[in-house]
Amino acid sequence: MTDDKTTTHFGFQTVDEDQKAGMVHGVFSSVASKYDVMNDLMSMGIHRVWKDAMMDWLAPRPGQRLLDVAGGTGDVAFRFLERAGAGTHATVLDMTESMLLAGQTRAEADSMATSLDWVVGDAMALPFEDNSFDVYTISFGIRNVTRVQDALTEAFRVLRPGGRLMVLEFSQIPNELMQKVYDLYSFNIIPPMGKLVTGDRDSYQYLVESIRKFPDQDTFADMIRRAGFEQVKYRNLSMGIAALHSGWKL
């Protein structure tokens, strides 16, 4: 009997909350070595444009401290350090050690080593003091967190007053016909592509399903406000295939 347990979703499956983290860990452990290649193939390289748009809106400044949660192979942290300049520091946190290890093999990791930390940790229980960072980012990771609201509350806790949250995540296309076309692509192309490139269809089936289960733009903006953030705004990218959400700790 599991009546006394809280459940959540793992893609389209309903699972006990205490199972999800391990299942997500299994997904990303499986695909870590090919993660960047698959991102390029699935999005036809557009994920790079989205991450650049994130940096444009974020406008990193010298001396800032970044926490990039679910930071995986370092894409966002590298961009942040390149743009911010002198005196900047980035901490990349991910629950999957193999993702962090893959990031550390990239050329950028060597050249930026003195400005980078790599930490294995949980978005819902960050191993950092209150008011520790100027910027908190999470890209294509928050939909994999078991309790999204808890992760947002933790983001608020570790940011300094005046700090900024920015979330880049797959979202919902406002146009119903375009959403149906995108769904056809997602469900029929991405899992077979994952099988071909990584040998793992199931992980990419989960990733596609997890996008459909994530709240729409306005619902997610309300969740950010409930965590305590102010001046919450979002911008759609590629017609809403992805969205950038921004909030401030004031």
Over residues 92-136, the pLDDT tens digits come to 999 989 889 988 988 889 999 999 999 999 999 999 999 999 999
Confidence of residue 191 (pLDDT cuts 50, 70, 90): confident
Place of tokens 């570790």: 158
Q: What share of the chain is helix, strand, coil (3-state, %, to 5)?
A: 50, 25, 25
Q: What band does 73 get if pLDDT is binned at 50, 70 and 90?
A: confident
Dist. CA 91–CA 123, nearest whole Å? 13
CA distance 141 to 50: 14
Q: What's the burial of 14, exposed, middle or buried (CB within 10 Å: 0-12/13-18/19+)?
A: exposed
Which of 17-21, 63-67, 208-212, 216-220 has the least mean pLDDT? 17-21
The sign one gets for the Cα dihedral 189, 192, 196, 198 is positive
Residue 2's pLDDT is what? 44
Over pLDDT 70: what percentage of the chain? 91
pLDDT the model gives residue 206 = 82
Higher pLDDT, 173 or 30: 173
Say what the pTM is.
0.86
- From CA 209, how far away is CA 143, in angstroms rounded? 11
Q: Confirm if 41 and 124 have CB atoms less than 8 A apart.
A: no
Mean pLDDT of 57-64: 97
Closest CA to 185 of 214, 212, 158: 212
pLDDT reported for residue 190: 87
Give start and end residues of each alpha helix (H) in the chain. Answer: 17-31, 35-43, 46-58, 75-84, 97-104, 107-111, 148-158, 176-198, 201-213, 217-226
Mean pLDDT confidence for 13-26:
73
Q: Report the pLDDT value the prediction gives residue 196, as an integer from 0 to 100.
A: 84
Instruction: Check residue 96 and report its DSSP letter.
Output: -
Q: Centre a 10 Å sphere on the Cβ of residue 247 and count the other Cβ atoms it contains.
A: 26
Whole-number average pLDDT of the chain: 89
Percentage with pLDDT > 90 across the chain? 60
Q: Which residues contact 4 (CB under 8 A, 6 or more apart)?
A: none
The pair of structure tokens assigned to 128 is 């950092």
